[in-house]
Amino acid sequence: MTGKPNRKHGGAADGNGYAWACESVIGSTWNTELAYEQGKIVGNESIFLGVNGWYGPGLNIHRNPLSGRNFEYYSQDGVHGGCMAAAVIKGATDKGVHVYMKHAFLNDQETGRMGTTTFATEQAIREIYAKSFEIAVKEGNANGVMSSFNRIGTVWTGGDYRLMTEILREEWGFEGLVISDYKTDNAVMNSRQMLYAGNDLILASLDNLLWTDCDFSSPQDVTILRNSSHNILYVVANSNSMNVDIVGYNTEWWITTLYVVDAVAVVALAVWGVFVIRKNVKKQNASEE
């Protein structure tokens, strides 16, 4: 592990981390205890590198053996993959790392995945393709999700209120933030549609980061932006970024300042108390004489 560690609230840092066995190998162990330990070590490594978020793990399905990202996904079975992913996620989040499990949902091919239209029945989605995400939320306490590029039916997943709010948050009880997959010039990914659906953050370069689709004079748009900001801040506030400066386990400057203020206040009160006690003792002695 080399390089200069640097605090970042994302999935990268100025440094190199370990190269892990891919998800399909981890899934082949059927060992959730081992998966949990891997998640914990990912968390420890993140602390060393100064990273608070992890763009992973991948939870999609091995639908086709020719898919270009099968190595990023655990299994061809939603329950098996979900149990393995939940263990890894629990290990990482126990160390204060917020994960972005991906790609929700039905991102089960690599070629042509940007804007492609995927058709499936609700039963198949719930029992197979979304099952791993459900287990990761309910058993792994996952606090972050990355939405996918594709459409399900005619609606882009990141802009689908049924997926991002009704199922993910209201039905599964997810508490955290949803970030989009990387936006370049993809016209499918409308930020206003995304925000109203419950997708809180857009993953993009600075050139594509502006909320150009939102009307900042609209009370409705401003309210939905505030809701998204709340979800983002909730995740950051519950990460290890609030506790340590990570590298060398140095305390954040503002925490140090509070410690100093508290210490000065305690000393001042102690000194004041000593003087008050001595004054009262002298008065009592004088009255007795």
Q: Which fold has domain 23-249?
A: TIM Barrel (3.20.20)
Exposure string over 240-252, b if 16+ CB within 10 A, otherwise e: bbeebebbeeeee
Provide the pLDDT for residue 8: 41
Q: Are 96 and 51 within 8 A, CB to CB?
A: no
Q: State pLDDT tens for residues 9-65.
A: 444 445 567 788 899 999 999 999 999 999 999 998 888 887 888 898 999 999 888
Query: 108, 160, 181, 200: which is the annotated catalytic residue?
Result: 181
Provide the pLDDT for residue 10: 43
Provide the pLDDT for residue 250: 55
pTM (two decimals): 0.77
Assess whether 181 carries a catalytic annotation. yes
Provide the pLDDT for residue 176: 92
| Neighbouring-strand partners of residue 101 | 145
* Token reading at 277: 């006690």
Q: What's the DSSP call for residue 249?
A: G
Q: Are 10 and 57 within 8 A, CB to CB?
A: no
Provide the pLDDT for residue 209: 59
In this structure, how many other beta carbons lie within 10 angstroms of the beta carbon of residue 84? 30
Provide the pLDDT for residue 1: 29
Residue ranges of the chain whose pLDDT lies below 70: 1-16, 184-187, 206-212, 243-252, 288-289
Q: State pLDDT tens for residues 98-114.
A: 899 999 999 888 887 88
